[in-house]
Structure 1
Amino acid sequence: MPIVRITAKGQVVIPAEFRRKHGLQTPGRALITERDGQLVITPVASDPVTGSRGILRSKTPLREVQKRHREEEIGLEDR
């Protein structure tokens, strides 16, 4: 596990092997978050539309969800 320096400006150089492995491109952008006391670096897509594809995907097909909602609405109307 490589050890990296942190500059006076707070900059860190991510080793090339990690940039290639995780798709971090230069120049580029990354999101830094904290999870369980660890810093997590996540690549940010240059095109936000492309990068956000699939984030709302559900395991249940949309038709099934719509069918349940319709049944629920009909049940509420019958009351």
Structure 2
Amino acid sequence: MPSSTRDPEIVRISQKGQATIPKSLREKYGIDTPGAVFIYEEDERIVVEPVPSLEELNGIHSSDDREPGDVIEDVREIKREERRREQELADRLRPEDADDE
């Protein structure tokens, strides 16, 4: 039975403060190993986001009139839109009788 990404998993923190992202989440979000992720605090939570590939950025650095922080906000917006589309697709594919559970 596949686990939901909403079901929390316990991850141990090493003495160096290192944690391992579970394989199922790395695969789902395309986090390569070795690789890099963004990590930041938002609404009293620690958020981990994959660093987008160069293809996903698709010219995001091409403008010279960007302010510091604009690129990361653009990346976050791309990711939000991607998650929204994935959720819409999941909702469409979910069997109608799943709402009755």
* Same fold flag (TM > 0.5): yes
- Overall identity of the aligned pairs, in %: 41
Between structures 1 and 2, the one with greater helix share: 2
Gaps of 5+ in 2: 1-7, 61-73, 76-101
The counterpart of 2:37, out of the listed 30, 53, 58, is: 30
By relative contact order (CA 8 Å, sep 6+), the higher-ranking structure is: 1
What TM-score, normalized by structure 1, do the two folds share? 0.59
CA distance in structure 1 between the aligned counterparts of 2:18 and 2:53, rounded to whole angstroms: 21
1:46 Cα deviation (Å)? 5.2
Q: Once superposed, which parts of structure 1, at least 4 consecutive aligned residues long, lie more than 2 Å away?
A: 50-56
Q: Give deviations 1:48-73, integer Å, cap 9, x for gaps.
A: xx3433639xxxxxxxxxxxxxxxxx
TM-score, with structure 2 as normaliser: 0.47
Matched residues, number: 55
